[in-house]
Amino acid sequence: MIELIRTNDPVVISFVESLLRDAGIAFFVADQNMSIMEGSLGILPRRVMIDEDDRDAARQLLKDAGIEHEARSDDKKNA
């Protein structure tokens, strides 16, 4: 899996989850439990992970929704 986005913003996470779900793209939100453990202060970012084969389609979804700036650039190391 590769990291599509990393953010502290729960609204962005929710929006991206909705976009991916509606497009039928499987995803996993990593570090969600760590955010709860820290008291939901928003210090630790959550990551939306997708299959590498879905990278282009997912990035196009973000672009079409006007939030392509949220996507991790390809030159950043993906977890």
The CATH number linked to 46 is 3.30.70.790
Q: Is residue 42 part of a domain?
A: yes
| Pairing between β-strand 2-7 and β-strand 46-50 as defined by DSSP bridges | antiparallel
Q: How many domains does the chain have?
A: 1
**Residue 46 in this model has a pLDDT that exceeds 80:** yes
Stretch 58-70: mean pLDDT, rounded?
94
For the chain, the average pLDDT equals 85
Q: Is residue 79 part of a domain?
A: no
Q: Is residue 11 part of a domain?
A: yes
DSSP 62: H
**Residue 10 in this model has a pLDDT that exceeds 60:** yes
Cβ neighbours of residue 3 under 8 Å, at least 6 residues apart? Answer: 30, 47, 48, 49, 72, 76, 78, 79
**% of the chain with per-residue pLDDT over 70:** 81
Q: Is residue 78 part of a domain?
A: no
**Residue 34 in this model has a pLDDT that exceeds 80:** no
Domain of residue 11, residue span: 2-70
Query: Which residue is it, tokens 């008291």?
Result: 39
